[in-house]
């Protein structure tokens, strides 16, 4: 079984809809991250969490929110999706401070 899983793997939604992307990990790491990847822009940090009670904004947090439900779960929400949020979204974990381990990604399309 994969150490970091993301659901759904693919999602197509319409402008204005609320959508949640979920991430689960079995690595026992405290630190978790959400990134988006766009062609030519690399990976950009949306939010990160160093433990269950800790939430921090990243470079591009506007239009997104997160919830750290447990050490193993970190969810990303788009409150009202817009087309420029179409991207590949990655969740990652880190044993602090050390390597990051990535999930397989969620491809989100907002029409």
Which residues make up the interface to other proteins (CB under 8 A)?
A: 33, 35, 40-45, 48, 56, 58, 88, 90, 92, 97-105, 107
- Kindly state the smallest distance separating residue 102's Cβ from other proteins, in Å: 4
Q: Encoding tokens for residue 48?
A: 């990160």
**Rounded to a whole number, what is the largest CA-CA distance in the chain?**
38
Cα gap 37→41, rounded to integer Å? 7
Cα gap 17→15, rounded to integer Å? 6
Cα gap 51→27, rounded to integer Å? 14
- Kindly state the smallest distance separating residue 98's Cβ from other proteins, in Å: 7
Residue 16 or 45: which CB sits closer to other proteins?
45
Residue 75 or 102: which CB sits closer to other proteins?
102
- Kindly state the smallest distance separating residue 74's Cβ from other proteins, in Å: 15
Beta bridge partners of 27: none
The number of beta carbons lying within 10 Å of the beta carbon of residue 45 is: 16
- Kindly state the smallest distance separating residue 90's Cβ from other proteins, in Å: 6
Residue 19 or 36: which CB sits closer to other proteins?
36
């Amino acid at each position: 079984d994969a150490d970091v899983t993301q659901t759904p793997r693919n999602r197509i939604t319409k402008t204005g809809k609320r959508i949640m992307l979920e991430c689960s990990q079995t690595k026992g790491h405290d630190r978790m991250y959400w990134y988006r990847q766009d062609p030519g822009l690399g990976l950009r940090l949306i939010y990160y969490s160093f433990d269950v009670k800790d939430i921090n904004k990243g470079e591009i947090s506007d239009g997104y929110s997160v919830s750290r439900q447990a050490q193993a779960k970190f969810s990303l929400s788009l409150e009202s999706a817009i087309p420029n949020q179409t991207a590949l979204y990655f969740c990652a974990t880190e044993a602090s401070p050390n390597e990051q381990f990535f999930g397989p990604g969620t491809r989100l399309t907002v029409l």
